[in-house]
Amino acid sequence: MCLLVWAYDMHPRYRLVLAGNRDEFFARPTAAAARWPEQAGMVAGRDLRAGGTWMGAGKGQRFCVITNVRDPEAQKTTAPSRGGLVTGYLLGDNSAMAYRKAVARTQSQYNGYNLLIGDASSVHYTSTAAAAHAIAPGLYGLSNAVLDTPWPKVTRAKERLRTILSGDDALVPALFDLLQDDTPAPDDALPETGVSHDWERVLSPIFISSPRYGTRASTVLLLNRTGGGTLVEQTYTPDGAVSRRQRFPLPP
Protein backbone atom coordinates (compact mmCIF):
# COMPACT_ATOMS: atom_id res chain seq x y z
CA MET A 1 0.00 0.00 0.00
CA CYS A 2 1.09 3.58 -0.54
CA LEU A 3 -1.50 5.40 1.53
CA LEU A 4 -3.19 4.24 4.72
CA VAL A 5 -5.46 5.95 7.19
CA TRP A 6 -7.01 4.22 10.15
CA ALA A 7 -8.90 4.83 13.35
CA TYR A 8 -8.11 2.53 16.26
CA ASP A 9 -10.64 2.25 19.08
CA MET A 10 -12.55 5.34 17.92
CA HIS A 11 -15.77 3.88 16.48
CA PRO A 12 -18.68 2.46 18.49
CA ARG A 13 -19.02 -0.67 16.33
CA TYR A 14 -15.49 -1.24 15.01
CA ARG A 15 -12.24 -1.46 16.96
CA LEU A 16 -10.40 -0.74 13.70
CA VAL A 17 -11.47 1.22 10.63
CA LEU A 18 -8.75 1.17 7.98
CA ALA A 19 -8.70 2.44 4.39
CA GLY A 20 -5.78 2.21 1.99
CA ASN A 21 -4.65 2.54 -1.60
CA ARG A 22 -2.10 0.35 -3.31
CA ASP A 23 -0.10 2.33 -5.88
CA GLU A 24 2.04 0.34 -8.30
CA PHE A 25 3.28 0.13 -11.88
CA PHE A 26 0.52 -1.26 -14.07
CA ALA A 27 2.98 -3.64 -15.70
CA ARG A 28 3.59 -5.52 -12.44
CA PRO A 29 1.48 -8.71 -12.52
CA THR A 30 -1.02 -8.85 -9.67
CA ALA A 31 -3.93 -11.00 -8.52
CA ALA A 32 -6.88 -9.33 -6.82
CA ALA A 33 -7.89 -10.14 -3.25
CA ALA A 34 -8.95 -13.76 -2.77
CA ARG A 35 -8.95 -16.54 -0.19
CA TRP A 36 -5.51 -18.09 0.16
CA PRO A 37 -5.57 -21.90 0.38
CA GLU A 38 -2.34 -21.82 2.41
CA GLN A 39 -4.16 -20.40 5.45
CA ALA A 40 -7.83 -20.89 6.39
CA GLY A 41 -9.69 -17.61 6.56
CA MET A 42 -6.91 -15.50 5.02
CA VAL A 43 -7.79 -12.91 2.35
CA ALA A 44 -5.16 -10.98 0.40
CA GLY A 45 -4.11 -9.88 -3.03
CA ARG A 46 -1.05 -11.51 -4.50
CA ASP A 47 2.06 -10.11 -6.17
CA LEU A 48 2.52 -12.55 -9.04
CA ARG A 49 6.14 -11.52 -9.56
CA ALA A 50 7.52 -12.09 -6.05
CA GLY A 51 4.70 -14.06 -4.45
CA GLY A 52 3.95 -11.83 -1.45
CA THR A 53 1.24 -9.28 -0.81
CA TRP A 54 0.81 -5.66 0.24
CA MET A 55 -2.13 -6.22 2.58
CA GLY A 56 -4.13 -9.08 3.99
CA ALA A 57 -6.32 -10.18 6.87
CA GLY A 58 -7.51 -13.42 8.40
CA LYS A 59 -9.15 -15.09 11.35
CA GLY A 60 -8.60 -13.83 14.85
CA GLN A 61 -8.53 -10.24 13.55
CA ARG A 62 -5.01 -10.77 12.24
CA PHE A 63 -4.01 -8.28 9.58
CA CYS A 64 -0.83 -6.84 8.12
CA VAL A 65 -0.13 -3.95 5.72
CA ILE A 66 3.10 -2.60 4.26
CA THR A 67 4.12 0.66 2.61
CA ASN A 68 7.49 1.43 1.08
CA VAL A 69 9.68 4.22 2.47
CA ARG A 70 10.65 6.36 -0.51
CA ASP A 71 14.43 6.82 -0.56
CA PRO A 72 15.82 6.44 -4.12
CA GLU A 73 19.40 6.93 -2.94
CA ALA A 74 19.29 3.92 -0.61
CA GLN A 75 17.78 1.24 -2.85
CA LYS A 76 19.31 -2.23 -2.62
CA THR A 77 19.00 -4.05 -5.94
CA THR A 78 19.35 -7.49 -4.34
CA ALA A 79 16.99 -6.95 -1.39
CA PRO A 80 14.21 -9.51 -0.85
CA SER A 81 10.64 -8.53 -1.65
CA ARG A 82 8.99 -6.60 1.15
CA GLY A 83 5.69 -8.34 0.43
CA GLY A 84 7.11 -11.45 2.06
CA LEU A 85 7.02 -9.65 5.40
CA VAL A 86 3.23 -9.44 5.16
CA THR A 87 2.74 -13.08 4.24
CA GLY A 88 5.30 -14.10 6.84
CA TYR A 89 2.93 -12.83 9.51
CA LEU A 90 -0.37 -13.88 7.96
CA LEU A 91 0.79 -17.42 7.21
CA GLY A 92 2.39 -17.84 10.63
CA ASP A 93 1.14 -17.98 14.19
CA ASN A 94 3.16 -15.26 15.95
CA SER A 95 1.27 -12.61 17.85
CA ALA A 96 1.47 -9.09 16.42
CA MET A 97 3.88 -8.07 19.18
CA ALA A 98 6.10 -11.12 18.70
CA TYR A 99 6.24 -10.61 14.94
CA ARG A 100 7.15 -6.95 15.38
CA LYS A 101 10.13 -8.03 17.45
CA ALA A 102 11.06 -10.80 15.01
CA VAL A 103 11.20 -8.60 11.91
CA ALA A 104 13.47 -6.13 13.71
CA ARG A 105 16.27 -8.67 13.38
CA THR A 106 16.10 -8.69 9.57
CA GLN A 107 15.23 -5.07 8.74
CA SER A 108 18.68 -4.25 7.36
CA GLN A 109 18.21 -6.80 4.55
CA TYR A 110 15.28 -4.90 3.02
CA ASN A 111 14.64 -1.67 1.23
CA GLY A 112 12.81 0.85 3.37
CA TYR A 113 9.35 -0.03 4.64
CA ASN A 114 6.63 0.63 7.19
CA LEU A 115 4.75 -2.37 8.55
CA LEU A 116 1.44 -2.31 10.42
CA ILE A 117 0.66 -5.56 12.24
CA GLY A 118 -2.45 -6.42 14.20
CA ASP A 119 -4.34 -9.15 16.02
CA ALA A 120 -7.25 -9.30 18.44
CA SER A 121 -5.08 -8.01 21.29
CA SER A 122 -3.07 -5.14 19.83
CA VAL A 123 -1.81 -3.25 16.79
CA HIS A 124 1.88 -2.50 16.19
CA TYR A 125 3.96 -0.32 13.90
CA THR A 126 7.52 -1.04 12.84
CA SER A 127 9.69 0.68 10.26
CA THR A 128 13.21 0.74 8.86
CA ALA A 129 13.12 4.52 9.42
CA ALA A 130 11.51 4.94 12.86
CA ALA A 131 11.21 3.32 16.26
CA ALA A 132 8.75 0.44 16.60
CA HIS A 133 5.85 0.80 19.00
CA ALA A 134 2.35 -0.33 19.87
CA ILE A 135 -0.45 1.76 18.37
CA ALA A 136 -2.52 3.63 20.95
CA PRO A 137 -6.17 4.53 20.33
CA GLY A 138 -6.37 7.35 17.82
CA LEU A 139 -6.45 8.35 14.16
CA TYR A 140 -3.36 7.80 11.99
CA GLY A 141 -2.03 8.28 8.47
CA LEU A 142 0.83 6.65 6.62
CA SER A 143 2.29 6.93 3.14
CA ASN A 144 5.88 6.51 1.92
CA ALA A 145 7.52 8.22 4.88
CA VAL A 146 7.26 7.40 8.59
CA LEU A 147 4.00 7.33 10.51
CA ASP A 148 1.97 10.57 10.45
CA THR A 149 4.45 12.49 8.29
CA PRO A 150 2.27 15.45 7.24
CA TRP A 151 2.40 15.06 3.47
CA PRO A 152 -0.61 16.90 1.99
CA LYS A 153 -2.41 13.71 0.96
CA VAL A 154 -1.89 12.13 4.38
CA THR A 155 -3.24 15.20 6.13
CA ARG A 156 -6.18 15.42 3.72
CA ALA A 157 -7.02 11.72 4.12
CA LYS A 158 -6.90 11.93 7.93
CA GLU A 159 -9.18 14.97 7.92
CA ARG A 160 -11.66 13.19 5.66
CA LEU A 161 -11.57 10.05 7.82
CA ARG A 162 -12.26 12.11 10.94
CA THR A 163 -15.28 13.66 9.21
CA ILE A 164 -16.56 10.26 8.08
CA LEU A 165 -16.32 8.84 11.59
CA SER A 166 -18.35 11.70 13.01
CA GLY A 167 -21.03 11.63 10.30
CA ASP A 168 -24.04 9.56 9.40
CA ASP A 169 -22.98 8.42 5.91
CA ALA A 170 -22.66 4.70 5.17
CA LEU A 171 -19.13 3.86 6.21
CA VAL A 172 -17.86 1.71 3.31
CA PRO A 173 -19.07 3.97 0.46
CA ALA A 174 -17.71 7.03 2.27
CA LEU A 175 -14.30 5.40 2.72
CA PHE A 176 -14.08 4.44 -0.94
CA ASP A 177 -15.02 8.00 -1.87
CA LEU A 178 -12.12 9.17 0.30
CA LEU A 179 -9.75 6.74 -1.42
CA GLN A 180 -10.77 8.00 -4.88
CA ASP A 181 -9.98 11.63 -4.07
CA ASP A 182 -7.69 12.75 -6.91
CA THR A 183 -7.15 16.33 -5.71
CA PRO A 184 -3.47 17.23 -6.24
CA ALA A 185 -1.47 19.14 -3.67
CA PRO A 186 -0.51 22.73 -4.53
CA ASP A 187 3.02 23.02 -5.85
CA ASP A 188 4.24 25.00 -2.83
CA ALA A 189 3.11 22.16 -0.51
CA LEU A 190 4.74 19.27 -2.35
CA PRO A 191 7.19 17.21 -0.28
CA GLU A 192 10.75 16.58 -1.47
CA THR A 193 11.29 12.83 -1.46
CA GLY A 194 14.10 12.35 -3.96
CA VAL A 195 12.06 12.36 -7.18
CA SER A 196 11.47 15.16 -9.67
CA HIS A 197 9.08 18.01 -8.98
CA ASP A 198 6.81 16.83 -11.81
CA TRP A 199 6.71 13.34 -10.34
CA GLU A 200 6.00 14.72 -6.85
CA ARG A 201 2.97 16.44 -8.39
CA VAL A 202 1.76 13.16 -9.95
CA LEU A 203 2.16 11.33 -6.64
CA SER A 204 0.54 14.02 -4.50
CA PRO A 205 -3.18 13.01 -4.64
CA ILE A 206 -4.74 10.30 -2.49
CA PHE A 207 -5.74 8.55 -5.75
CA ILE A 208 -2.90 8.51 -8.30
CA SER A 209 -3.49 8.34 -12.03
CA SER A 210 -0.76 8.33 -14.70
CA PRO A 211 -0.08 6.22 -17.81
CA ARG A 212 2.41 3.78 -16.26
CA TYR A 213 1.85 4.03 -12.51
CA GLY A 214 -1.14 4.66 -10.32
CA THR A 215 -3.65 3.43 -7.78
CA ARG A 216 -4.47 -0.17 -8.66
CA ALA A 217 -6.58 -1.16 -5.67
CA SER A 218 -8.37 0.39 -2.71
CA THR A 219 -9.07 -1.63 0.42
CA VAL A 220 -11.33 -1.07 3.42
CA LEU A 221 -10.83 -3.21 6.51
CA LEU A 222 -13.35 -3.15 9.35
CA LEU A 223 -12.70 -5.17 12.51
CA ASN A 224 -15.69 -5.66 14.78
CA ARG A 225 -15.55 -5.10 18.51
CA THR A 226 -17.21 -8.50 18.92
CA GLY A 227 -14.68 -10.38 16.75
CA GLY A 228 -14.27 -11.00 13.05
CA GLY A 229 -14.69 -8.31 10.46
CA THR A 230 -14.93 -7.45 6.78
CA LEU A 231 -12.40 -6.74 4.04
CA VAL A 232 -13.62 -4.97 0.88
CA GLU A 233 -11.34 -4.47 -2.13
CA GLN A 234 -11.99 -2.31 -5.18
CA THR A 235 -9.66 -2.63 -8.17
CA TYR A 236 -9.11 -0.23 -11.06
CA THR A 237 -8.18 -0.25 -14.72
CA PRO A 238 -5.16 1.83 -15.82
CA ASP A 239 -7.48 4.72 -16.75
CA GLY A 240 -8.80 4.87 -13.17
CA ALA A 241 -12.18 3.22 -13.77
CA VAL A 242 -13.49 0.73 -11.22
CA SER A 243 -13.08 -2.82 -12.51
CA ARG A 244 -14.41 -4.85 -9.56
CA ARG A 245 -15.46 -4.64 -5.92
CA GLN A 246 -15.31 -7.69 -3.67
CA ARG A 247 -16.40 -8.13 -0.06
CA PHE A 248 -14.99 -10.85 2.21
CA PRO A 249 -16.28 -11.68 5.69
CA LEU A 250 -13.48 -12.47 8.13
CA PRO A 251 -13.93 -15.21 10.73
CA PRO A 252 -13.59 -14.49 14.48
pLDDT category of residue 73 using cuts at 50, 70 and 90: confident
Asked whether residue 252 is domain-assigned, the answer is no
- 65 burial class (0-12, 13-18, 19+ CB within 10 angstroms)? buried
How many whole angstroms from its chain centre is CA 75? Answer: 21
Asked whether residue 56 is domain-assigned, the answer is yes
What is the percent of the chain where pLDDT is above 90? 96
**pLDDT, position 167:** 86
What is the span of the domain harbouring residue 108? 3-244
Inform me whether the pLDDT recorded for 75 exceeds 80: yes
**pLDDT, position 135:** 98
Please report the DSSP string for 46-88 in residue order. EETTTS--SEEE-GGG-EEEEEE---GGG--TTPPPTHHHHHH
Least reliable range by pLDDT among 98-102, 148-152, 177-181, 193-197: 193-197
Asked whether residue 170 is domain-assigned, the answer is yes
pLDDT in tens, 218-251: 999 999 999 999 999 999 999 999 999 999 999 9
Asked whether residue 239 is domain-assigned, the answer is yes
Asked whether residue 250 is domain-assigned, the answer is no
Please report the DSSP string for 125-163 in residue order. EEESSS--EEPPSEEEEESSSSTT---HHHHHHHHHHHH
Cβ partners under 8 Å of residue 230, min gap 6: 220, 221, 222, 247, 248, 249, 250
User: From CA 199, how far away is CA 193, in angstroms rounded?
Assistant: 10
Asked whether residue 80 is domain-assigned, the answer is yes
**232: nearest Cα among 14, 9, 12, 8:** 14
pTM assigned to the model? 0.97
Q: Are 52 and 83 in contact (CB under 8 A)?
A: yes
User: From CA 122, how far away is CA 177, in angstroms rounded?
Assistant: 28
pLDDT in tens, 180-202: 999 999 999 999 998 999 999 99
Asked whether residue 27 is domain-assigned, the answer is yes
| Number of domains, the chain | 1
- 44 burial class (0-12, 13-18, 19+ CB within 10 angstroms)? buried
Asked whether residue 83 is domain-assigned, the answer is yes
- 222 burial class (0-12, 13-18, 19+ CB within 10 angstroms)? buried
CATH of the domain at 222: 3.60.60.10
